[in-house]
Chain A
């Protein structure tokens, strides 16, 4: 069975001037164990795809289907999507003062465990796990006591997203420009985190602007999104070609 099945997806974003169609019949299939990269010019709808799949308010689905592990994603609330294994690494992670990172992570892991009928981890071992993960991503464990993403640099926010990915271990990871704004050292840390997450039982959709990330996270497939549709698919050599020629030759 496919892990993710998106077929003929149409979606629009709600704007002050009414709904504006963005996705115009998008198809994407991800099998367990695969990494798919989605590239495309600014404004082509990459974030819209990630947002619609994870259930962000402000979008309307106008047609088509999206299934995760055989379940219809589009019927579910965002928290229910997470509970069946969806994870979005945000392009712009949100700052939440007053709610500590540790408290947030515990609430999250407890909710997921409850939903799956698993036992919630005890606080002490949970905190140990989180500290170790933080260390492995070059995050100072002291940040765990601070507010969620509060006062983090851009790079720290992105590494925090990867830490959550490793902790929550979802079935499908959507990474929305997790590489943007990172220097090369931070990029390697993030890529290393994603590679540690990869397994035969999960899948990754990497949204990125730059070929650079794909040197460190080698994709099985590369797709080009333009004007709300996937207009070209190939293997990683497509990314190199895009890097050399830009997008214009495809459209």
Chain B
């Protein structure tokens, strides 16, 4: 991480500086220091960090929001301060940097069961969004990533027994696009993300989920297509810090024709998180010429009494399935299309499923009517 392209002149704002080693320290210094830990170096192993990190200092605007005028929803812009929850330098140095450079963040507080979805539309670099759910609250959060270039940072803190259903489409043909999300679940909280993504010039998706209360449940389902020399780098860390948490992650990516896809899924089960059930499955389908796929499962378990499975596969279409389809008169190209669509469709769901299907797969007469 030697050529970290963050300006060194700006000081960490006083509101966030507390607890850092010295007073008067620059943002570039602290962030570079934090990124130099082995875990963060690993996160940037396959995609060059510099191009992305410069996005952190670019001007940012508020995302467009819909659905904020409901009872139980509060949305406002706020200057950064230490009262902002969940901002951990070590855990998310880049997100910390984004916040420092922006100097302000968008706040979304959810205090009840919100019926209509709240939608965030990101058309460019957007200000960090900090989402807080009170105990027992519930929210359907939709994010659409648009525009040619941009960086989005979102923190979600889910109170006890509260629930977030999160759907995100990142299907824009951007030159460079980076989604950084951090989610913290308190006891018995539930988080469910449906992520649909296309590779682009360079696309980076970071997701850090912390199971910080007993009995929390997290589910991630993600479908991706990386075609025509596009790139996608997904870095997921899921930490079980408390007992009896359940997590389930299913990520299907198709990589074709010179596409480059990196997936790093780390599960960290801390000492004391007994009774944890953590599952991760990453399947990659290579098609066409010269697809590059790096997938790395990482598992760190510091407690007994856990049920954990973690699998990553790289393969091609099943010959058995192809024969079955073609034996019914379907020609080979159509059978291959059906199979690859089926592979994706297993991971396309939620309120954005239809748009995702149409964009990723193309409208199909029957598919739409079923």
Task: Give the segment of A97-105, A186-194, A225-233 that binds chain B.
Answer: A97-105
Task: Give the segment of B140-148, B152-160, B336-344 that binds chain A.
Answer: B336-344
B329 is an interface residue with CB less than 8 A from chain A:
yes
Q: Which of A41-97 contact B (CB under 8 A)?
A: 54-57, 77-79, 81-83, 87-88, 90, 93-94, 96-97
B319 is an interface residue with CB less than 8 A from chain A:
yes
Residue among A54, A83, A103 making CB contact with B370, cutoff 8 Å: A103
Residue of A nearest to B346 (CB): A98
A108 is an interface residue with CB less than 8 A from chain B:
yes
What 0/1 readout, one digit per residue, does chain A (156-170) give for beta carbons within 8 Å of chain B?
A: 000000001000100
Interface size on A, residues (CB 8 A): 35
A111 is an interface residue with CB less than 8 A from chain B:
yes
Most buried by A among B318, B326, B338: B326
User: B332–A79 contact, CB under 8 A?
Assistant: yes
Residue of B nearest to A55 (CB): B327
User: A98–B328 contact, CB under 8 A?
Assistant: no
Residues of the B chain whose Cβ atoms lie less than 8 Å from the Cβ of A56? 323, 327
Residue among B320, B329, B341, B344 making CB contact with A94, cutoff 8 Å: B320
A115 is an interface residue with CB less than 8 A from chain B:
yes
Residue among A54, A55, A79 making CB contact with B330, cutoff 8 Å: A79
User: What separation, in Å, do the CA atoms of A51 and B167 have in the docked complex?
Assistant: 45
User: B329–A168 contact, CB under 8 A?
Assistant: yes
Residue among B329, B342, B344, B369 making CB contact with A82, cutoff 8 Å: B329
User: A108–B328 contact, CB under 8 A?
Assistant: yes
A28 is an interface residue with CB less than 8 A from chain B:
no
User: B328–A77 contact, CB under 8 A?
Assistant: no
B367 is an interface residue with CB less than 8 A from chain A:
yes
What 0/1 readout, one digit per residue, does chain B (327-360) give for beta carbons within 8 Å of chain A?
A: 1111110110011011111100000000000000
User: What separation, in Å, do the CA atoms of A115 and B334 have in the docked complex?
Assistant: 14
Tell whether A78 pairs with B326 under 8 Å between CB atoms, given A103-B367, A123-B369: yes
What 0/1 readout, one digit per residue, does chain B (19-37) give for beta carbons within 8 Å of chain A?
A: 0000000000000000000
Residue of A nearest to B348 (CB): A98
User: What separation, in Å, do the CA atoms of A125 and B142 have in the docked complex?
Assistant: 37
User: What separation, in Å, do the CA atoms of A94 and B317 have in the docked complex?
Assistant: 13
Residues of the A chain whose Cβ atoms lie less than 8 Å from the Cβ of B324? 90, 93-94, 96, 148
Residue of A nearest to B340 (CB): A98
Residues of the A chain whose Cβ atoms lie less than 8 Å from the Cβ of B84? none
User: A99–B323 contact, CB under 8 A?
Assistant: no
User: What separation, in Å, do the CA atoms of A115 and B326 have in the docked complex?
Assistant: 13
- Name B's interface SS: helix
User: B321–A100 contact, CB under 8 A?
Assistant: no
User: What separation, in Å, do the CA atoms of A81 and B33 have in the docked complex?
Assistant: 65
Residues of the A chain whose Cβ atoms lie less than 8 Å from the Cβ of B365? 123
User: B329–A96 contact, CB under 8 A?
Assistant: no
User: A100–B370 contact, CB under 8 A?
Assistant: yes
User: B366–A106 contact, CB under 8 A?
Assistant: yes
User: What separation, in Å, do the CA atoms of A54 and B323 have in the docked complex?
Assistant: 9
Residues of the B chain whose Cβ atoms lie less than 8 Å from the Cβ of A168? 328-329
User: B320–A107 contact, CB under 8 A?
Assistant: no
User: B326–A102 contact, CB under 8 A?
Assistant: no
B135 is an interface residue with CB less than 8 A from chain A:
no
Residue among A57, A97, A104, A107 making CB contact with B346, cutoff 8 Å: A97
Interface size on B, residues (CB 8 A): 30
B345 to chain A, nearest CB (A): 4
B325 is an interface residue with CB less than 8 A from chain A:
yes
Tell whether A82 pairs with B367 under 8 Å between CB atoms, given A99-B338, A147-B342: no
Residues of the B chain whose Cβ atoms lie less than 8 Å from the Cβ of A93? 324
User: What separation, in Å, do the CA atoms of A235 and B318 have in the docked complex?
Assistant: 41
Most buried by A among B323, B335, B345: B323
A112 is an interface residue with CB less than 8 A from chain B:
yes
A145 is an interface residue with CB less than 8 A from chain B:
yes
Residue among A78, A104, A108, A115 making CB contact with B323, cutoff 8 Å: A78
User: What separation, in Å, do the CA atoms of A15 and B121 have in the docked complex?
Assistant: 56
User: A96–B342 contact, CB under 8 A?
Assistant: yes
Residue of B nearest to A99 (CB): B342
Residues of the B chain whose Cβ atoms lie less than 8 Å from the Cβ of A82? 326-329
Most buried by B among A56, A77, A103, A123: A103
User: A79–B370 contact, CB under 8 A?
Assistant: no
User: What separation, in Å, do the CA atoms of A104 and B364 have in the docked complex?
Assistant: 12
Residue of B nearest to A100 (CB): B370
Residue among B319, B341, B366 making CB contact with A123, cutoff 8 Å: B366
Query: Given known contacts A94-B323, A111-B328, what 17 new A-B pairs fall within 8 Å (CB)?
Result: A55-B327, A57-B323, A78-B323, A79-B329, A90-B324, A94-B321, A96-B321, A99-B345, A102-B366, A103-B370, A104-B338, A107-B338, A108-B325, A108-B328, A111-B331, A112-B329, A164-B328
Interface pairs A-B: 9 shortest CB-CB: A98-B342, A99-B342, A82-B329, A108-B328, A94-B324, A98-B345, A79-B326, A78-B326, A98-B346
Can you offer 27 A-B residue contacts whose CB atoms are under 8 A? A54-B327, A57-B319, A77-B332, A78-B327, A79-B329, A79-B331, A82-B327, A82-B329, A93-B324, A96-B325, A98-B342, A98-B343, A98-B345, A99-B338, A99-B345, A102-B370, A104-B325, A106-B366, A107-B325, A107-B338, A108-B325, A108-B329, A108-B330, A111-B329, A123-B369, A168-B328, A168-B329
Please list the residues of chain B having a beta carbon within 8 angstroms of any beta carbon in chain A: 318-321, 323-332, 334-335, 338-339, 341-346, 364-367, 369-370
